[in-house]
Structure 1
């Protein structure tokens, strides 16, 4: 019996144009009516997930920035797993040395040493007045020093635009592993992005932490995603789904592959779970 369903957002709940399809809304409504807990588990920063949660007309737990922040109610942060400032400074130096584009987040804000509108287009609000992003954008020549001056800590560090540098994702990950060893969790949502966080948190570990509080066992969890950072939760969940548009590595660990994010894949997964739950009641 599935009691909790964890969803990735980009490439899963949202279509290829980063829009929310009616089929997703229908799927989430069905789960809510069945009393199944819905958890949004994304690489996005916390306020961005809150924004999308409201668009989806749901309430409940949030796992943000690949598991480094947990909210039990979608409002207050329950627990955070942070990147130590010393490691953050070394990551910034690593990127400057290799001339790599980077940005990072605290629990609410986006930081970088340059403004690239393409990197923040997924955070855009549909407004033409005032602040038109889901988070505050902070650009500083030394963003790590600025963050520490505010007595804040980062929850995710991201290296982007690897395709423009002619460097493969695997090359960068190998370099990072050589320099940082086991000190950080290194993953990504795509082939041109590397995402880095606290070694003790990923999407699954934080979903599992929520389940422990709610009294839900691992085999009572379903999870769905499309990217590398979804692998821990898709692999460990009682039922793990991969979207049709998912990375091959994720498909290889999933129990079931559904249609892509433009073809009602989420609704297909939800219908499967509801049918399986009916069988448990027979």
Structure 2
């Protein structure tokens, strides 16, 4: 029996991959899980304050993995990465003529910039500075030692005393591949990146938030083979 469902935010709980509007069907799906006493948690590249606010007002209880694994919350907050030197953030943005994502003022370890296209020059700069660099498809991210969603989720499961087999996850982008490494049942929404679909146990017919509702309906009806 699944005890915890971990959900990505952008492109998963939202109405589409280019939208920041949370789908009402996704919220309803969360309520359905909660009625069955299945915990719901958030795993995202978003900053901790943003996810903490959503977590509180959606009345979730399954924990948070923020900043691509650097920040974990379950009853209390844990930082798994070194805080970023702001001078490097300014240098990177200026050198490559990028714009801060609006959440950078709230970030601690993993900083994002747009446009999201990652270039060889950026990769070489990051290598010289001994920094992690990756594009999520929404932004280019840099960090000293980004934990990755896999490390953050592993910590979250340890805090709750759960095994991989107890957990399902749903996402949309290639950054969720690391999330999938730590769970027993993997779900990609219908408009997810092909790399994620390739390793998913189930791909929804519907996109983003509607796909979340589809997955939850099938899970609670016993129509998915979640036993490994």
Does residue 42 of structure 2 align to residue 40 of structure 1? yes
Shift of 1:170: 4.8
CA offsets per residue over residues 210-248 of structure 1, 9 Å max, x none? 111211101221111112321201244211111112122
Shift of 1:38: 1.0
| Structure-2-length-normalised TM-score | 0.82
1-side partners of 2:175 and 2:166: how far apart? Answer: 21
| Structure 2 match to 1:261 | 208
| Structure 1 match to 2:98 | 100
| Structure 1 match to 2:113 | 159
1-side partners of 2:88 and 2:163: how far apart? Answer: 38
In structure 1, the gaps of 5 or more residues are 112-134, 136-152, 163-167
Shift of 1:176: 4.5
CA offsets per residue over residues 140-170 of structure 1, 9 Å max, x none? xxxxxxxxxxxxx8321112125xxxxx425
Shift of 1:268: 1.5
| Structure 1 match to 2:162 | 216
CA offsets per residue over residues 112-146 of structure 1, 9 Å max, x none? xxxxxxxxxxxxxxxxxxxxxxx6xxxxxxxxxxx
Does residue 163 of structure 2 align to residue 228 of structure 1? no
2-side partners of 1:238 and 1:54: how far apart? Answer: 26
Does residue 124 of structure 2 align to residue 175 of structure 1? yes
1:186-197 matches, cutoff 5 A: 186-190=133-137, 193-197=139-143
Moved more, 33-42 or 15-24: 15-24
In structure 2, the gaps of 5 or more residues are none
Shift of 1:11: 0.8
Moved more, 194-203 or 232-241: 194-203
Tell me, what secondary structure is at the counterpart of 1:253? coil
2-side partners of 1:177 and 1:247: how far apart? Answer: 25
Shift of 1:13: 0.9
1-side partners of 2:122 and 2:39: how far apart? Answer: 35
Does residue 7 of structure 2 align to residue 4 of structure 1? no
| Structure-1-length-normalised TM-score | 0.68
How many residue pairs get aligned? The number is 224
Q: Which has the higher helix share?
A: 1
2-side partners of 1:227 and 1:197: how far apart? Answer: 19
| Structure 1 match to 2:58 | 56
Shift of 1:174: 3.4
